[in-house]
Structure 1
Amino acid sequence: MSDITAPSTELASLAAEFDAADELAALRARFVLDDAVYLDGNSLGALPASVPGRLADVVHREWGEMRIRSWDESGWWTAPERIGDRIAPLVGAAPGQIVVGDSTSVNVFKAVVAAVRMADEGSGSGDGRRDEILVDATTFPTDGYLAESAARMTGRTLRPVTPAEVPAALGDRTAAVLLNHVDYRSGRLHDLPALTAAVHEAGAYAVWDLCHSAGALPVDLDEHGVDLAVGCTYKYLNGGPGSPAYLYVRRDLQPRFDSPLPGWTSHAAPFAMDPAYQPAAGAPRGRVGTPDILSMLALEAALDVWGGGGDGGSAGAGVTIESVRAKSLALTDFFLRCVSAYVPEGRVESITPVAHAERGSQIALRCDDAGDVMKRLIHQGVIGDFRHPDVLRFGFTPLYVTFADTERAARVLGETLGEMG
């Protein structure tokens, strides 16, 4: 980083030009926002303006007046698959392959155990058994905990490796590989197409965690032959705190998907109350228990900001995931430019890759006293977050973050660090 070389008026004017040319600018009005610069959408997305009214209707009319009839008449029962089909275009999946429900953690467990069980079908027992699970060593801790539990449950060995080490670590012992598309701490985007191909070449199954990519950049699950994927909906999909996660099972694998959590709503005849379990066909076999209707329908309303869905990469009328990605890269490029101009030399170091092909939708800056710095930024209306021990994390949600927000965040950061010495 260098000393401040560009006056704020120059970069502020440039931000205004970028905002005037932004084809997504009108989407900001679809969210409930204030004067703060909100750069923490990679932890909790902003509230879409359509959600409060929809929830009020669900509570007062569907629950309050219709009561039990709403399972059928209001479509509560089919919500997990219906909303899954709304998410599908955002991750490059055809309809019928995503079911919404449970948490990301629960879905990670389902997916990893199911992947190992599918690997068992082709390997038999004895020396030819695929007895190892690879997990991203840099993953969010919960993924590691769940992978370790899945390994114990299935009698496998868990082997943590970095994504870069995966190709060399793969072999005929590998049953499944659990990877993150975007690293939660650094914002590094991993090569999903190449890593998935390498996993398949080794005869194993790929499970991807999309929490920090879905809704911010193209994923193209179908195109790249991903086996299983999971993701949350409260970050770039703006579903609200604790909103239900989703599970993707590639269509040709659905008949073989053997969930370790067979619940009554994933039964082929759920209301028959048969003591013997018979899994439903298709994506519904990823369900477990009764859907969390209030959170689920809040998520459905939140997805209205994208439009009505669409084919391929379309995220809805006038909004494509490609245009969202283009703005994300422009915002993060501009933020790095502003940081370079405003922040005193040597005070921060970006740990997010510069290359677009390796960058998610956040910028992570290593900084001394990062926890205290972030508290000061938040007090001044620039909201990011802190990751132990020394990382300032700024998430850019292209649907509502502006270039003016971006310039202001970098300027306040520079001023704050200058005052702290």
Structure 2
Amino acid sequence: MTMDFAATKALFHVPQGMIYLDGNSLGPLPKATAARVARTVTDEWGEMVITGWNRASWMAQPSDFGDRIGRLIGAEKGHVVVGDTLSIKVYQALASAIDLVPDRKVILTDSGNFPSDIYMAEGLIRSLGRGLELRVVAPEEVADHINDDLAVLMLTEVDYRTGRKHDMKALTAQAHAAGAIAMWDLAHSAGALPVDLAGCGADFAVGCTYKYLNAGPGAPAFIFVAPRHADRVKPALSGWLGHAAPFAFDLDYRPGAGIERMRVGTPPVLQLAALDAALDIWDQVDMDALRAQSILLTEQFIAGIEATCPDLSLASPRDPAMRGSQVSFAFDNGYAAMQACIARGLIGDFRAPDIMRFGFTPLFIDESDVAQAVAIIGQVMDQRLWDDPAFQTRARVT
């Protein structure tokens, strides 16, 4: 399927004069979002008040939107639900995965995993007090540490710093052969590249909607549970909306059917309205076409930077099949250099200790944007603009 990326670019608001290469951290605003959220505020919350839970189908949205996200990540219908934060969903998935292999003690992850995932695992291990061990290895060494003592393989498919991409299918198969459970974080995959959870045999997956999926800051996360586990996992966070009959108000918890048991708290209706508007765009996206265009743009970017900025060192895999939809360059003064770029209208971000990170979303980024980005970075580096003291002070968010 071919896609008209000029048409999709017109669906997003990017401030005039800005080149936005940070959609891997926070996606820009779809133009339809403001009206969609306003309608929810005025016509639904305003006029329906509490009856909106039924009349506007607020209560059904976590599952309905889960299916729409499920199409983008290769999940079976009825096995993705939206709600809560990504850290909460990591905790839920990991706790459920551990319970499926009660005689195993090792959780394996890598040093490129997002720190919050590791923190949640550490906290869960402390609270359970069952002698579990979190084993953290280098990304390229993961396969060597999958063995018969492994309980759960917990990985983020695309490394948030370098963009390095794990082979989900191969590692999942290796984990299963060792009798372990495979859990994947898709924070930098969903909306960035084709994902095939069903085809890969993944047991659990989680992800967020505020990056590539454009649902806005603080947008809710999602969780996937494979059909073979859906009716037997035991939610560690047994919230009332994961109950089989939440409005029976039983004092004892009975898990809901399938993926419904992974719901925890009340749906964030206003944020879901923003997600709805974004998914109206994503419903039309062919992920294979998107991936092909992403590779074209990232290859153009790498070639341009390496031809003009010898002081920057590629930190992402050179093979496009081995990286997500982002490109990272290492530079000792990376934070200041990125601030100099931002001051000139090129938005990327910085990840400690020395990574300048750039995200590529073909829905609103094209070849002319990439050429301008290369020119701005070249100017910053050639003229040592990063040496300006104004760019040295680090803000709270980098």
> Residue 354 of structure 1: CA displacement?
1.1
Q: Which of 369, 388, 413 matches 2:352? A: 388
Q: Does 2:6 correspond to 1:32?
A: no
Deviations 1:291-316 (A, max 9, x none): 11111121111111123xxxxxxxx2
Offset of residue 22 of structure 1: 7.2
Measured after TM superposition, the shift of residue 89 of structure 1 is 0.8
Q: How high is the TM-score relative to the length of structure 2? A: 0.93
Q: Does the CA-based 8 Å contact 2:3-2:286 persist in structure 1?
A: no
Cα separation, 2, equivalents of 1:22 and 1:341 = 30
Unaligned runs of 5+ in 1: 1-20, 121-128, 308-315
1:205 matched to 2:171: no
Residue number in structure 2 paired with 1:289: 265
Matched, 1:113 2:100: no
Say if 2:3 and 2:289, in contact at 8 Å, map to a contact too.
Answer: no
SS of residue in 1 equivalent to 2:378: helix
Distance 1:162 1:99 in 2: 31
> Secondary structure of 2:88's partner?
helix
Work out whether residues 31 and 47 of structure 1, in 8 Å CA contact, stay in contact via their aligned partners in 2.
yes
8 Å contact kept, 2:40–2:270: yes
**For residues 136 and 183 of structure 1, what CA distance do their matches in structure 2 show?**
10
1:23 equivalent in structure 2: 4
Please state if 1:351 is matched with 2:315: yes
What one-letter code is carried by the residue in structure 2 that aligns with 1:388?
A
- Distance in 1 (alpha carbons) for counterparts of 2:50 and 2:307: 59
Matched with 2:23 is: 41
Could you tell me how far apart the structure 2 residues matched to 1:168 and 1:392 are? 30
Written as runs of structure 1 = structure 2, the 5 A alignment for 1:211-230 is 211-230=187-206
CA distance in 2: counterparts of 1:248 and 1:360, whole angstroms: 20
Match of 1:322? 288
The 8 Å contact of residues 108 and 146 in structure 1, kept in 2 or not, is answered as yes
Q: Out of 28, 51, 57, which is 1:69 matched to?
A: 51
| Runs of 5+ unmatched residues, structure 2 | 386-398
Paired-residue identity, % = 46
The answer as to whether partners of 2:213 and 2:282 remain within 8 angstroms in 1 is: no
Q: Which has the higher contact order (CA 8 A, sep 6+)?
A: 1
The structure 2 residue matched to 1:185, chosen from 149, 155, 161, is: 161
Cα deviations by residue, 1:253-285 (Å, 9 ceiling, x for unpaired): 101111100011010011000011110001111
TM-aligned CA deviation for residue 161 of structure 1: 1.8
Distance 1:277 1:27, change over 3 A: same
Which stretches of structure 1, 4 residues or longer, exceed 6 Å deviation after superposition? none
Letter in structure 1 aligned against 2:338 = M
TM-score by length of 1: 0.88
Question: How many positions carry a matched residue from both structures?
Answer: 381
Assess, with a 3 A threshold, how the Cα gap between structure 1 residues 22 and 229 changes in structure 2: closer, same or farther: closer
Q: Does 1:414 align with 2:390?
A: no
Report the residue type matching 2:379 in the other structure: E
Deviation at 1:189, TM superposition (A): 0.8
- 1:19-54 CA-partner distances (Å, limit 9, x unpaired): xx9732210011111220000000000101111001
